[in-house]
Structure 1
């Protein structure tokens, strides 16, 4: 099981971001991080990278409840961008609303819905399920 190059966390909760980064470090999950506090900030940073063919995240951990541009709005825009590399997206949310978990199924680019907090076993499972890097 090899670690991924870049993991991206899109979440407005600094405590979750701190904890997720720490869990990723302990799980030897990735070599580097990209961090964004809302979907708009992430979209503005990732779009030019994807369009130019530069290094983009292998995995995005995406919160759905954020200010400015929420996770659903981000997904709607992000999935329109053409790229030659596959990005694996996981919704990571504290929401236990079945409607949110059902809505994930509308997005073919989303691999799974993970309830916060994220743990080392969940990160190791993500690594095992990743396409060969």
Structure 2
């Protein structure tokens, strides 16, 4: 993988946050950006990837329909497991949530909103380091 991911999925029910995050990703030359407004849409997106999985999923925890933990559980049980990485992006700094996310091997970080350019670049910077252990698509 080069130093920038080509494909990022934003999963958040906050439309304004999605717009801002999309803009930040474009500023650092991310070429494909997907958006899901809830966990159910995220699962549908991942199920329909057909081998072109996102390099990174920016996942909110508190959403309607299906929350972030439900997305992670579904992902772990699916045949997609190991094909993408997740960064939890939350407005909550609850230790319980932070600890719970460490149980998922494909979660690379837990960051607080709002996401600025530096936070996004830091998340992306760790992807090549983890790529060696990533399962093939």
> What TM-score do you get using the length of structure 1 for normalisation?
0.88
Closer, same or farther: CA 106–64 of 1 in aligned 2, 3 Å: same
**CA root-mean-square deviation:** 1.8
Q: Which runs of 5+ in 1 are unaligned?
A: none
Q: Which runs of 5+ in 2 are unaligned?
A: 132-137
Q: 2:87 aligns with which of 80, 87, 90?
A: 90
Give the structure 2 partner of residue 114 of structure 1.
111
**Secondary structure of the residue that 1:89 maps to in structure 2?**
strand
Q: 2:98 aligns with which of 95, 98, 101?
A: 101
- The alpha-carbon deviation at position 45 of structure 1 amounts to 2.4
Give the structure 1 partner of residue 134 of structure 2.
none
- The alpha-carbon deviation at position 47 of structure 1 amounts to 1.4
- The alpha-carbon deviation at position 113 of structure 1 amounts to 0.2
CA distance in 2, matches of 1:100, 1:85: 21
Q: Does 1:76 align with 2:77?
A: no
> What TM-score do you get using the length of structure 2 for normalisation?
0.86
Give the structure 1 partner of residue 25 of structure 2.
24
Q: 1:129 aligns with which of 126, 130, 134?
A: 126
Closer, same or farther: CA 75–85 of 1 in aligned 2, 3 Å: closer
Deviations 1:32-58 (A, max 9, x none): 111000011111221132xx4x21101
Equivalent pairs counted in the alignment come to 129
- Point out 4+ residue stretches in structure 1 off by more than 2 angstroms: 83-86
> Is the contact between residue 3 and residue 31 of structure 1 (CA under 8 Å) also seen in structure 2?
no
